[in-house]
Structure 1
Amino acid sequence: MGMLVLSENVCLDGGVQDPIGEDGSDRGGWFTQVTPEDYEAWAEVEYDEALGADALLLGRRTDHFFAGAGWNTRGGAWAERLREMPKYVISSTLDTPEWIGGTILRGEVAREVTRLKERYERDIVVYGSAQLTRTLIDHHLADQVRLTLHPYILGGGEHLLDGLAARASLRLVSTQPIGTNLVHLIYDIS
């Protein structure tokens, strides 16, 4: 059975609002402020994660983001790996996913994700998708959280774990510096 991994970029206060600044938020653009060295080190961690995964699970907005950010045609080993992976998009409004290789899942989230976990042997990675992340935690479907911690405090806006209905216990598996300013934390969810 596959392991469902929540792979997230977050600020020190848990903020996830408008990471690249495309939404016009006064709190946006924090992800684009990392140094080139930090970005390169982060991309290596993400590429390794993609090599260990069988599929991606996304919300509608994250599917739109990746397609709009050029991942359908972007070069490089990481982009090629993500393009070749099956992608599943949870949406009740989309007819067609925007990112190449996507499939829309319209049914009840818990049932659809359980089927995915039964279908795959390795990781099913969720990028971004804060609303979906909360749903997966609330339904006890997530097995692991991988956070890349960015050295910013947003002080408001959307936070990754806002509004969780369920309580979750986590166990720290590893910590890893990424570049000089980022930290990668991995927690198992019990």
Structure 2
Amino acid sequence: MGKIVVSENVSLDGVIEIAAEDDGSRFGSWFDWMGDEDRKAWAEVEFEEAMSAEALLMGRLSYEWFLARGWQSRTGAWADRLRSLPKYVMSSTLKDLGWENSTVLKGDLADEVSALKREVDGDIVVYASSGLVQALLEHDLVDELRLIVYPFVLGGGRRLFGGTSAKKPMRLVETRTVGDGLPFLVYRSVRVP
């Protein structure tokens, strides 16, 4: 049985996506906020996660973000691993799949992801994909949250948690420090009967 693992970079105030009106000039990117040692340690965590994943699940915009940055043709062990993994993209509009081993899921989100969890044995990692993540949380499809927390309050942007129709209990199962001071937190969903 597959496990949906949401992997996010997040600010102290829960922002995972800088506001669209900010072209990057006001805040820069997540990677501008790290020193070299933190960036190296972050990359090690992300590489380990990719190596232990059995599949990726993304929204259309995140999939296109990876394509725009050339992940489909990059070299190196991390890029090779991402290229080899099956990639599933929730989208009703995506037509061109420019990354090998990619499949578009166009049906009902809850049905498609539930079927995917039955088909894949292991971690199905969700990178970024804020809208998809919020829908997965709403449908109780998230099994684990992995958060790298940046020591900044941004005050604006898309937050990890939007409104939900009910409480979503989580249990902290792991903490460690990445690099010089980035908390890495792992939460597992607590299924209430």
User: What TM-score results when the alignment is normalised by the length of structure 2?
Assistant: 0.91
Query: What one-letter code is carried by the residue in structure 2 that aligns with 1:80?
Result: D
Q: Is there any run of 5+ residues in structure 2 with no aligned partner, and where?
A: none
Confirm or deny that 1:78 pairs with 2:84. no
* Pairs aligned (count): 189
Contact 2:31 2:39 in 1 (8 A): no
Paired residue for 2:13? 13
Paired residue for 2:41? 41
CA RMSD of aligned residues (A): 1.8
Contact 2:18 2:156 in 1 (8 A): no
Contact 1:56 1:86 in 2 (8 A): yes
Q: Deviations over 1:145-182 (max 9, x none)?
A: 00011111111121111233332001001001000031
Contact 1:6 1:125 in 2 (8 A): yes
Percent of aligned positions with the same letter in both sequences?
47
User: What TM-score results when the alignment is normalised by the length of structure 1?
Assistant: 0.93
Q: Is there any run of 5+ residues in structure 1 with no aligned partner, and where?
A: none
Equivalence map 1:13-32=2 (5 Å): 13-18=13-18, 24=23, 26-32=26-32
Equivalence map 1:1-190=2 (5 Å): 1-18=1-18, 24=23, 26-190=26-190
Cα 1:92–1:166 change in 2 (3 A) is farther
Which stretch shifts more, 45-54 or 29-38?
29-38
Secondary structure at 1:16 match in 2: strand
Q: Distance in 2 between matches of 1:76 and 1:22?
A: 34
Q: Deviations over 1:46-97 (max 9, x none)?
A: 1111111110000000001111112112222111111100000000111123
Q: Aligned-pair distance for 1:27?
A: 4.3
